[in-house]
């Protein structure tokens, strides 16, 4: 993932619009109910929350932290999805039926991840360092699942609905239950 802070202003704008386009493509590819780009842009609160985050994150990395948090709060009020502007999110995130999704400040989300409603990527401590999960590429997190702490979910893994995951998950795994148990690798 490129760091927005290392790009020129023109490169940042191009990067944001390229990422916005990839976010729309992710919905078209992964949601069979999505009919066209206009419908997605107008009617998908997960996309609205993600775009609000992307703008807030661009401000966050330029040290406009209060403005970034304000945009984040307005976006949360409008969509019911809370994404901290300090989180790092790759292109192609799809938040499906996103009400109640929470993404904490030190979360890292790789490309092409899918989060369903009620997912929490949360911390388990109040220290200032890394305290939220890292999700690899092509991860799917089911409805109501909680992924907690500075853990890593490996590429191509699936987290079942309502699972509570507090330990690292290797790539290509399926995790279900409370506490989360790997049922397939």
Options 84, 97, 117, 127, the catalytic residue: 127
Q: What gap in Å lies between CA 141 and CA 115, rounded to an integer?
A: 5
CA atoms within 13 A of residue 149's CA, in its CB half-sphere? 9
Neighbouring C-beta atoms of residue 147, cutoff 10 Å: 27
Sign of the dihedral through C-alpha 95, 62, 108, 179: negative
Sign of the dihedral through C-alpha 162, 52, 11, 25: positive
Spatial CA neighbour of 48 closest among 72, 13, 12: 72
Task: Let me know if 63 is exposed, middle or buried by CB neighbors in 10 A (0-12, 13-18, 19+).
Answer: exposed
Q: What gap in Å lies between CA 172 and CA 155, rounded to an integer?
A: 6
127 is known as an active-site residue:
yes
| Stretch (H or E) spanning 25 | helix 9-30
Catalytic residue numbers, as ranges: 127
């Amino acid at each position: 993932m490129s760091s927005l802070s290392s790009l020129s202003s023109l490169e940042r704008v191009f990067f944001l619009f390229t990422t916005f386009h990839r976010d729309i493509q992710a919905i078209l590819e992964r949601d069979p109910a999505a009919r066209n780009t206009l419908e997605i842009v107008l009617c998908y609160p997960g996309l609205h929350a993600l775009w609000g985050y992307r703008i807030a994150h661009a401000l966050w990395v330029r040290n406009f932290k209060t403005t970034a948090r304000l945009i984040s709060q307005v976006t949360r009020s409008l969509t019911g999805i809370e994404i901290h502007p300090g989180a790092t999110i790759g292109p192609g995130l799809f938040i499906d039926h996103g009400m109640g999704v929470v993404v904490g400040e030190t979360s890292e989300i790789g490309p092409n991840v899918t989060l369903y409603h009620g997912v929490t990527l949360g911390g388990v401590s109040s220290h200032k360092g890394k305290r939220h999960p890292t999700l690899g590429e092509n991860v799917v997190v089911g409805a109501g699942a909680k992924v907690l702490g500075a853990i890593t979910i490996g590429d191509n893994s699936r987290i079942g609905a309502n699972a509570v995951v507090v330990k690292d998950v290797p790539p290509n795994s399926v995790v279900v239950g409370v506490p989360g148990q790997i049922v397939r690798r």
